[in-house]
Amino acid sequence: MSLKFGTSGLRGLSVDLEGPASALYATAFARHLLAAGIARPGDEVLVGRDLRASSPAISAIAIAALRKAGLAPRDCGVLPTPALALLGLERKAAGLMVTGSHIPADRNGIKFYRPDGEIDKADEAAITAAAQAIRAEGVAFDAAREDAENLHEAAMALYGARNRALLPEGGLAGLRIGVYQHSTVARDLFVSVLAHYGADVVALGRSETFIPVDTEAVSAETVTLLQGWAAQHGLHAIISADGDGDRPLVADETGTPIRGDLVGLVASRFLGARVIATPVTSNSGIEAAVAGKVLRTKVGSPYVIAAMNEAVAAGETAVAGFEANGGTLTATPFTVNGHVLAPLPTRDSLMPVLAVLALLAAGERPLSQVAEGFALPAAASDRLENVPVETSAALMAELRSGAGALSAFLAPIGVPAKTSDVDGLRVTLEDASVIHFRPSGNAPEMRCYVEAADEAAAARLLKAGLQRIREWAVSR
């Protein structure tokens, strides 16, 4: 059983999580909540899931374990992660979301929530320690499965109402928007919310088999689909999300995806945020594109949330954050369209999608030109899949071993001028381009992020960076 916390939640193979492992970690979560005084015996815990084939079984196992541990699980069914989190905040209930987000279908995961939002790194450590203690006690888990009271409709109604209040009535009238439905839990809500605002909605690519869509590194196959649909249906934009609906995907009128950090930037402006927390992997031009303060963090929602919380504790108002995948979080209330938007300190995909579409609707330019108008440095990112964690760790250790090793590795690409080691290794080259190597925190993958003078240069730099990782891995 190989399970660990990544950048957002516990991840592992589905075959492991469909067994006693889910019961073990659900029990460890319950013990932590009770021991820390975060919950009392009999308190509610909300349980949701995505559309992976393994998720119903894992959810049922977790429900049984939570009940056995003295809590009162409530089944929220298939729903977006932000919808589960929002209901938890309203009911002051902890939560557990069974999802592997965007990773391959043979894997899955669990995201944990306290009554006040996502767990942090200290909680992760406490849950891990509780799981180790339970193993040491020799407690046996038989992967029992149970049902629970269903709160799906309540969660979806609350989340739907939040998003139907963001724009004026008819705010998207005149726009023809495609919704790439695939297997995201947000697929039906996207259609209904866009129709509510008057958009002409075209549902596309619905799948009954789980399709992993990484909105931060959109595959060539997905881009081909999007571009074909854009031309076929005469669309102004195409929207989608990852498996659990907390990472947005927005493509322009040509079907070309817009980078997630630009989506997050648009969402922050839409909210009127004065303090923005975002990881080091987000575009370096963001500081110049906003009037407020930008706080740079490590990759992962726990770090973004920690930075937002520090800002709030320091007396800041209008505090938001986003990740490079576009998932947007809020730490304070915002007034939008005359409505007060309560804080939602977890990644959301629907609000940032609506922010981009509202900007599109407000002008007379195609979305590609709207995006170009932000004049951010050209950036690109992708990943190499099936890179063992040990290989990634060895590569990063070598690159950090000294300037000579880094220069030798980058010799076919460029000359290092400056490095940052906040999360992975971010290298500014002598020509001012940037290349950033970082092992994924969620899967056996190596990620590469680049910035360059133009799109063509960024594409060449990204290709060269991925090739160097590949060559190094093969040479071992």
Q: What are phi and psi for residue 279, nearest 5 degrees? A: -70, 165
Contact between residue 168 and residue 227 where contact means Cβ atoms under 8 Å apart? no
| The two three-digit tokens of residue 256, written as one number | 């070309």
Is 151 buried (19+), middle (13-18) or exposed (0-12) by CB count in 10 A?
Answer: buried
Integer Cα distance of 442 and 459 in angstroms: 25
Domains of the chain with CATH codes: 4-152 (3.40.120.10), 175-372 (3.40.120.10), 378-475 (3.30.310.50)
- Report, as residue numbers or ranges, the catalytic residues: 101
Model-level pTM? 0.90
Contact between residue 429 and residue 413 where contact means Cβ atoms under 8 Å apart? yes
**Residue recorded with tokens 């009911």:** 91
pLDDT tens for each residue of the chain, 476 residues long = 567 787 778 888 898 888 889 999 999 999 999 999 999 999 999 999 999 999 999 999 999 999 999 999 999 999 999 999 999 999 999 999 999 888 888 999 999 999 999 999 999 999 999 999 998 888 777 677 777 778 999 999 999 999 999 999 999 999 999 999 999 999 999 999 999 999 999 999 999 999 999 888 888 999 999 999 999 999 999 999 999 999 999 999 999 999 999 999 999 999 999 999 999 999 999 999 998 999 999 998 999 999 999 999 999 999 999 999 999 999 999 999 999 999 999 999 999 999 999 999 998 899 999 999 999 999 988 889 888 889 999 999 999 998 899 999 999 999 999 999 989 999 999 999 999 999 987 678 899 999 999 999 999 999 999 999 999 988 87
Three-state SS sequence of the chain: CCCEECCCCEEEEHHHHCCHHHHHHHHHHHHHHHHCCCCCCCCEEEEEECCCCCHHHHHHHHHHHHHHCCCEEEEEEECCHHHHHHHHHHHCCEEEEECCCCCCCCEEEEEEEECCEECCHHHHHHHHHHHHHHHHHCCCCCCCCCCCCECHHHHHHHHHHHHCCCCCCCCCCCCEEEEEEECCCCHHHHHHHHHHCCCEEEEEEECCCCCCCCCCCCCHHHHHHHHHHHHHHCCCEEEEECCCCCCEEEECCCCCECCHHHHHHHHHHHHCCCEEEEECCCCCCHHHHCCCEEEEECCCHHHHHHHHHHHHHCCCCCEEEECCCCCEEECCCEEECCEEECCEEEEECHHHHHHHHHHHHHCCCCHHHHHHCCCCCEEEEEEEECCCHHHHHHHHHHHCCCHHHHHHHHCCCCCEEEEECCCCEEEEECCCCEEEEEECCCCCEEEEEEEECCHHHHHHHHHHHHHHHHHHHHHC
| The two three-digit tokens of residue 271, written as one number | 């909210």
How many whole angstroms from its chain centre is CA 193? 21
Integer Cα distance of 49 and 243 in angstroms: 10
